[in-house]
Amino acid sequence: MNTSFTRRDFIKISALFSALGSSGKLFGEAFSPSGAKVYNVPGKERKVIPSACWQCVSRDAIICRIEDGRLVKIEGNPKSIRNRGKICSKGQAGINQVYDPDRILYPMKRMGKRGEGKWKKISWDEALEELTGRLAKLRNEGHPEKFMFHYGRMKGSDSKIVKNFLTAYGTKTIGNHTSICEGGKWTGQELTWGKHYDVWDFENTNLIVNFGSNFLEAHTSHIQAAQRATNALAKGVKMYTFDVRLSNTAAKSTEWLPIKPGTDMAVMLAMANVIMKKKMYDREFIDRWTNVSVSELKKHLKSYTPKWAEKISGIPAKKIEKIAVEFAQAKPAVLVTYRGAVAHYNGIQTERAKFMLEAICGYLNTKGGTNQAVGAKWKYPKVKGHPKKLKIIDGFPGTTAYPTHHVSHQVLKMIKDGSYGRPDIYMTYCYNPAYVNGECTENIAILKDESLIPYLVAVDAFMSETTALADLILPDVTYLERWSWDDMASFAMIPEFYLRQPVVEPLGEARQFQDVVCVIANRLGLDIGYDSTVDFIKKSCELSKVDFATLKKEGVWHDSAAKPRYHNHRKEIPPAKYEGDSILFDEKTGVYWNWKKAKVKSAEEARKAGYTNTKNAYKGYVGQRIGGKVYLGFKPDKLNKSGLIEISSDFLKKKNFSAIPAWMEIPEHKKLGRKQLILTTYKVNVQTHSRTANNMWLTELYHENPALINSKTAKKLGIKNGDLVKIISNVGEIVTPTKVVEGINPGVVAVSFHLGHWEYGEFASGKKASSGHVCVTDCKFVWWDTYGKNPNWIIPNKPDPIGGQQRWMDTVVKIEKV
Amino acid sequence: MDGYSGKNRESIKIFIYRFLQRLFLEPDEEFINFLLQKSEALKEIGIELDDGIDLETLQTEYTRLFLGPAEHLPPYESVFLERRFWGTPTNDIQDFIRSMGLELKKDFNMPPDHVSIEFEILEKILSSKDPEINAQYMDFLKEHIVWIFDFLTRLIPKTDLKFYQTAFAFSKVFLKAEMSCGSLAVEERWR
Ligand code: SF4
């Protein structure tokens, strides 16, 4: 090839291309005439589109500023009664998601071996033909349950649309990921007060006692909770934080109490002991709203003295006593728990102990206390059916008593085991089991093995560690290109209806998966009653009597006449609602229930079995008789509990657990060797567990997660700040630098989540999809080159025995200097 | 025929830009047929086809080079300069398209600073009957095409197909000639 054009070349080109004449069809034309020349005016107008964040599950209301088709800024929606115009740094960095050139924008089919990284771009038509062909085959063979759908993040209408499709198709082999979040907390609540999600009324409280929640940095209602707690602190409300690590929440507290891992329950029991002994309890609340008596409680709690708890938890008895007294005197106070308290072997009883403590003081469902969540109750088109399932979503039989939120971290192990069936098609949706569960090595091996998982489909906008192993990738849109209605719990205690709408057009061939399932349904000849996401949302708006146009314009809507819903349980049920043919009164529990709603065949059958022993009877729960009246009470969910706060649980007794929360020691922690430490994980304010390390702005702020150890521990082990260490558990080892700090309990080593990706793009792992850029702006200033370590390589996938919560905080490790 | 000056030369450039615009879009049946039919003539100007090349080979290579999802080079000015979609160059291109009295077709679902669009803009500048638009040629070249030169330099070693190697090299040489006509330096500015 010449290095310059000569006259001769032009003549040749002339011969070549003029032969083509104006056969313009060969040359695709991207333009059409607009009719007028339009010149750029400086200071362009910015369009404002309200939508909803989804960098994390808090799903705050946002407004997006768009300049000529480009998203330039994300802010909080000031009209939202939940987040009240505020968002966090992750929310602002959403721009990095939608414009990340490492995104997947086209359907891709695997070419080489699984995980080899060889792909062929295919059209949506080809992709869907292949997928629906396989789906149709399974269904025709009578095995729709062999299609397993496993999601990581799916809420609001996104969830309803997909689940409708799965019902119509016939599978209930649906995996979620709650057991690696806080599923145990929910099971604990369902066993105790009913439907889950506790909202802490910080702005009206007089004291905050926090066990293991870092809600000023990360939480499922992060921005809602953090701003209200901050306002409380500013007013002078005290906050005590029990945590193994000095989190920023602990640092902002009146006092940080460095507790030993997994011993939160001991302190709670001792606090309850103090309150009972000092007669500081709320007898009326206990008698009326719980299923235990004061004397029963006193008897049960007698041996749990502060001195006893001191030995277990390391928290001085005097301190426990002082905080217990302050808690009882606060009237009201809130008691906060999260993963730090719950992701343990004893987590569910810990959660129940929290409720016991709050119930003793009468702080539940009250202004300034802990309240049952209030969220938008959307009505929406529903598909009915009788789907079948493989029994692989609730863990191995006998390991988990009440897996009400499933045991997602055992799914791959169960597929490997094979005794309970294996899916032929395993589809992940915004879910990354290879990375987010413990035991990464095993996860990868299973996902790679075609004899265990014959067909792996990943629906994802990014190349996650699991998506990289898929046979077929369907590119999803990011949340900023998405339509959904949403319903997150409202800390305003008034339900807020809100909308997520595209603020920019989807890039490339990315398609919202909810639209894709409508197409698949259509191809399979399934009638789901709507033909697109927008159609579903509009129909939901009509059914829910919410104006779609208002939502589009404002992003949020709530009934302006509504009052905060405190004391929900005190609502009286009128006789008309509990009298009638389909209603039965259950003597044993005092519950009125509708046997028809519980889908029992006859009243006779229902009466015979009784409320507690009838499958799904809770679905027919009407109210609780107390004295001469019937109240809404604490409505059950997932389990047939009464409308009372069941401090004493027959469900647990039946399975040989203590009916009233009693101390449970973590078996692995019983005899720790001199060199053994307990590994704990945590989250920081600028990253999520697995889906933000690709965001340049966030990764600039957080791209290293050295193992934190106490200076005393370091001295004992001969480790200096910055030394490389090997952390060894019984499932593997990782090598990571250390950071020697004072703000951690000696005996603990803490490694945060978020980092240590081996895929997920340039900033997450160094593994670029998009390359070649020269970077004259922003990315020119990338000064860091670390990716951190994922602690999951060394954390075993172990469920707690009651609910199946992944025991993130129980791992025993050894540390060696490298 | 004088292929080096005057009107004829302009129309050849229009053809070249059309070819370049097509070169950076996904190959289809028509494109491969054109290449196969004109393989001899293409060879004359230095663009060679690989033995037995077919549409699938071409498409696979195109995907690998430009679409990913493994390491690839997205052909967008703002990705190249700012490592993001919809950077500042994207809006500049959009403004320019409007100033020509044109708009992007709705079915084009990517940001408008795609290299093919930039080539098409050049083609449109040259083929316009509006002298005001014709006059923009060098300015646009100066503003937006310089990056392509460096992009091509990085791209060429990435492909194993002779066709893409030689076609990209052809593009580079042509651009260099165009730029030097306008006394523009085409050094690899960002290296
Ligand atoms: S807390 Fe932050 S990331 Fe989570 S939804 Fe709110 S703004 Fe988004």
B183: which DSSP letter? T
d(C-alpha A219, C-alpha A433), whole Å: 21
Lowest mean pLDDT among A294-298, A441-445, A722-726, B125-129: B125-129
The percent of residues in chain A predicted with pLDDT above 70, rounded, is: 96
- For strand A108-110 and strand A119-121, is the pairing parallel, antiparallel, or unpaired? antiparallel
Residue A702 pLDDT > 60: yes
Q: Which of A518, A573, A204, A255 is nearest to A363 (CA)?
A: A204
Average pLDDT over residues A525-547: 97
Angle at A786 between CA A178 and CA B81, to 5 degrees: 100
Peptide bond preceding A332: is omega within 30 degrees of 0, i.e. cis?
Answer: yes
The pLDDT of residue A19: 55
Residues 6 or more apart whose Cβ sits within 8 Å of residue A433:
A150, A408, A411, A412, A443, A447, A466
CA B112 to chain centre: 13
Question: What range does the domain containing B167 cover?
Answer: 2-190
Element (H, E) at A355: helix A347-360
Long-range contacts of A33-37 (CB under 8 A, 24+ apart): A33/B101, A33/B102, A33/B103, A34/B98, A34/B101, A34/B102, A34/B103, A35/B101, A36/B101, A37/B98, A37/B99, A37/B100, A37/B101
- Please tell me the distance from the alpha carbon of residue A50 to that of residue A53, in angstroms, as a whole number: 10
Is B41's CB within 8 Å of A463's CB? no
Over residues A660-684, the mean pLDDT reads 95
Contact A701, A686 (CB under 8 A): yes
Rounded to an integer, what distance in angstroms lies between the CA atom of residue A702 and that of residue A688? Answer: 11
Q: A776 is written with which tokens? A: 């004259």
| pLDDT (0 to 100) of residue B185 | 44
CB A56 near ligand 1, within 6 Å: yes
Q: Which two tokens stand for residue A486?
A: 């949403």
Phi, psi of A678, rounded to the nearest 5 degrees: -105, 130
What average pLDDT score do residues B171-179 get? 87
Please provide the size of chain A in residues: 818
User: For residue A95, what pLDDT band results from cuts at 50, 70 and 90?
Assistant: very high
All structural domains of chain A: 108-182+378-557 (3.40.50.740), 198-372 (3.40.228.10), 568-654 (no CATH), 669-817 (2.40.40.20)
Does the beta carbon of A58 sit less than 6 angstroms from any atom of ligand 1? yes
Structure tokens at B7: 């009107």
Q: Beginning with the edge strand found earlier in the chain, give each strand of the sheet holding A472-475 in spatial order.
A: A119-121, A108-110, A472-475, A455-460, A425-429, A147-151, A174-175
Burial of A302 (0-12, 13-18, 19+ CB in 10 A): exposed
User: Any idea how long chain B is?
Assistant: 191
On the question of pLDDT at A425 being above 80, the answer is: yes
Q: What is the mean pLDDT of residues A172-186?
A: 97
- Average pLDDT rounded to a whole number, residues A369-387: 97
Assess whether the C-beta atom of A55 lies below 6 angstroms from ligand 1. Answer: yes
User: Does B139 lie at the interface with A, CB-CB under 8 angstroms?
Assistant: no
Per the structure, the count of domains in chain B is 1
pLDDT digits (tens, 9 = 90+) for A253-291: 999 999 999 999 999 999 999 999 999 999 999 999 999
Distance CA A624, CA A646 (A): 13
Distance A76 CA to ligand 1 centre (A): 9
- pLDDT for the residue numbered A88: 97
User: For the residues A787-816, what does the mean pLDDT come to?
Assistant: 98
- Of the CA atoms within 13 Å of residue B168, those in its CB half-sphere come to 23
Would the pLDDT of A10 be above 70?
A: no
Residues 43-82 on A with a CB inside 8 Å of B are 67-71
Interface of B with A in 7-36 (CB under 8 A): 8-9, 11-12, 15-16, 18-19, 21-22, 25, 30-31, 34
- Mean per-residue pLDDT, A241-257: 98
Confidence of residue A741 (pLDDT cuts 50, 70, 90): very high
Would you call A7 an interface residue with chain B, using a CB distance cutoff of 8 Å?
Answer: yes
CA nearest to A506 within chain B: B109
Instruction: Give the distance (Å) from ligand 1 centre to CA of residue A792.
Output: 24
- Retrieve residue A638's tokens: 């997932």
Task: Report the nearest atom of ligand 1 relative to the CA of A56.
Answer: 4
CATH of the domain at B179: 1.10.3480.10
Q: Which of A776-785, A788-797, B57-66 has the weakest average pLDDT?
A: A776-785
Instruction: Tell me if A16 and B45 make a contact (CB, 8 A cut-off).
Output: yes
Q: B186 pLDDT exceeds 70?
A: no
What is the A239 CA–ligand 1 centroid distance (Å)?
Answer: 23
* pLDDT at residue B7, rounded to an integer: 67
Q: Cα(A61) to centroid of ligand 1, in Å?
A: 9
Mean per-residue pLDDT of chain A: 95
Angle between helices A513-524 and A156-169 (to 10 degrees): 20
Question: pLDDT per residue over A103-129, tens digit each?
Answer: 999 999 998 999 999 898 999 999 999
Asked whether the bond before B69 is cis by omega within 30 degrees of 0, the reply is: yes
Q: Calculate Rg over the CA atoms of chain B.
A: 16
Q: How confident is the model at residue A18 (pLDDT cuts 50, 70, 90)?
A: low
| A31-33/B102-104 β-pairing | antiparallel
Residue at token pair 């002298």: B131
**CA atoms of B72 and B66, how far apart (whole Å):** 5
**Confidence grade of residue A586 (pLDDT, cut at 50, 70, 90):** very high
Q: B3 falls in which pLDDT band (50, 70, 90)?
A: very low
User: Average pLDDT for residues A91-113, to the nearest whole number?
Assistant: 96
Q: Do B85 and B78 contact (CB within 8 A), yes or no? A: yes
Q: Is the pLDDT higher at A29 or at A416?
A: A416
Neighbouring C-beta atoms of residue A234, cutoff 10 Å: 8
Whether A176 has a pLDDT exceeding 90, the answer reads yes
Structure confidence at residue B189 (pLDDT)? 38
For the cut 80, the answer to whether the pLDDT of residue A248 exceeds it is yes
Please check whether residue A778 is in contact with residue B83, taking contact to mean a CB–CB distance below 8 angstroms. Answer: yes
pLDDT reported for residue A32: 76
Q: How far is CA B57 from the centre of its chain?
A: 21
CA distances from A199 to A77, A251, A463, A491 (A): 21, 22, 35, 6
Q: Give the whole-angstrom CA distance, residue A597 versus residue A583.
A: 9
Contacts of A221 (CB under 8 A, 6+ apart): A58, A199, A215, A488, A489, A491
Find which of B28, B45, B90 to mutate to test the A interface (most A CBs within 10 Å of its CB).
B45
For chain A, give the percent of residues with pLDDT over 90: 91
pLDDT of the residue at B191: 30
Overall average pLDDT of the A606-618 stretch: 95
Q: Is A219 in the pocket of ligand 1 (CB under 6 A)?
A: no
Q: Which chain B residues in 70-89 lie under 8 Å from chain A, judged by CB atoms?
A: 70-74, 76, 79-88
Size of interface A-B (CB pairs under 8 A): 220
